[in-house]
Amino acid sequence: MKPLIAVTCCWPNIAAVGAIRRTWAAKSPIPVKFFFGQPKKPRQVQPDEIVLPVQDDYPHHIQKVATMFRWAKANGFTHVWKADDDCYLAVDRLLKKWFARS
């Protein structure tokens, strides 16, 4: 089993990614990756950031999510929890409920 917490993001909300990294993602025992669309300007990408070949705007959010799941499957992840950049996760409680059903 290879689980992932996948957070969909957009470049204008990059500050939210920093807040997630400092809070609940820092305590996560499983990988947390941040998924963005194509930036309007070249940007340094962090190791936990994935830039997908989709537009980085709300009308293309569904395409971003579908591409994110394809990326996760292609990279061997077997379980994916999708979150947004404006949420807080209690990862320990999530994992207890998530894997209690497996």
Q: Where are the domains of the chain?
A: 3-100
Query: Which residue in the block uniquely carries the two structure tokens 């979150």?
Result: 83
Confidence at residue 36, expressed as pLDDT on a 0 to 100 scale: 96
Token pair in block for residue 4: 């992932």
pLDDT (tens digit per residue) in 74-99: 999 999 999 999 999 898 888 887 77
pTM of structure: 0.91
Confidence at residue 56, expressed as pLDDT on a 0 to 100 scale: 93
Confidence at residue 102, expressed as pLDDT on a 0 to 100 scale: 54
Asked if residue 61 has pLDDT above 80, the reply is: yes
pLDDT (tens digit per residue) in 20-32: 999 999 999 999 9
- The vertex-90 CA angle with 14 and 81, nearest 5°, equals 70
Cα–Cα distance for residue pair 54/61, rounded to 1 Å:
9
Q: Residue 81's closest CA among 46, 33, 27?
A: 33
H helices of 1-102, in order, are 14-22, 61-74, 91-100
